[in-house]
Amino acid sequence: MNDECGCDDLVSHLHQLLDAELEESECRRLQRHVDSCPACHEAADAEAHLRSLIRRSCAERAPDRLRIRVLAQITVLRTQGPAAGEARG
């Protein structure tokens, strides 16, 4: 059994992680990766922030544009590393 969590793993489960839809052990495994990987930490942070904004604005639906921006940022972080992900604003 491979206990290591990769970036692909994390990204594909990020929503479930934030929705608390995973088993506790799986949750811990992903969280451990978030804590140790700057790129995924950034991505998880951005997604969590996005969610809190959505909740606060009481939107009935998640704004797709914002979601796409976050997903694009995650892709940049994954392909170019954390330094390249420093966005303006």
Nearest in space to 40 (alpha carbons), one of 64, 68, 76, 65: 76
Contacts of 76 (CB under 8 A, 6+ apart): 84, 85
40 binds Zn ion, rule: CB under 5 A: yes
Identify which of residues 42 and 50 has a Cβ nearer to Zn ion in the complex: 42
Q: Which residue has the tokens 């990204």?
A: 11
14 binds Zn ion, rule: CB under 5 A: no
7 binds Zn ion, rule: CB under 5 A: yes
Q: Which residue has the tokens 């892709």?
A: 75
Closest approach of Zn ion to the CB of residue 1, in Å: 20
Identify which of residues 48 and 53 has a Cβ nearer to Zn ion in the complex: 48
44 binds Zn ion, rule: CB under 5 A: no
